[in-house]
Amino acid sequence: MQRKGSAIWQGDLKSGKGTVSTDSGVLSQTQYSFSTRFESGKGTNPEELIAAAHAGCFTMALSGQLGAAGLVAEKLETTATVTFEKLEAGWTVTGILLDVKGKVPKADQAAWEKATQAAKAGCPISRLLNTTITMQAKLEG
């Protein structure tokens, strides 16, 4: 299975502009720029998209872990906060905080802890941080 996202950028880093899109059309030429990434301009940025993807993936994984334990959530709510800092090596994602709240009838604290830890470790986006990155690069003339 493969999923695709794409980006187009025009101009230099600080005054240029870009758009990101997904094959599903959920994002369609959604604006991003230097100001949406480092200031508070209108649009999105890669770190926000990673946070949303991680929150969605983790929450689904948690639902699966609860189901495997015979539990069904009434409601799961996750906020992922990506920390993006300037280090000596340059701008770096230094961490992601998953803040999760759940209303799960019949769950005790031990079952909740086991499910959340397993979901954090098993979520494909959590594991993404250790992935192999390959590339094809073509310069058009």
Residue 76's pLDDT is: 95
Residue 116's pLDDT is: 94
Q: Which residues of 73-106 are buried (b: 16+ CB within 10 A; e: fewer)?
A: beebebebebebeeeeeeeeeeebebebebebee
pLDDT classification of 31: cutoffs 50, 70, 90: very high
Q: Is 6 left (phi over 0), alpha (psi -120 to 50) or beta?
A: beta
Residue 127's pLDDT is: 86
Q: What is the pLDDT of residues 40-60, one digit of tens each?
A: 888 899 999 999 999 999 999
**Short-list 132, 65, 125, CA closest to 98:** 125
Q: What is the pLDDT of residues 85-141, one digit of tens each?
A: 999 999 988 889 999 999 999 999 999 999 999 999 999 998 887 667 677 767 576
Mean pLDDT of 23-35: 93
Residue 139's pLDDT is: 52
Task: Report whether 54 contacts 37 (CB < 8 A).
Answer: no
Check: pTM over 0.75? Answer yes or no. Answer: yes
Q: What is the pLDDT of residues 68-88, one digit of tens each?
A: 999 999 999 999 999 989 999
Residue 88's pLDDT is: 96
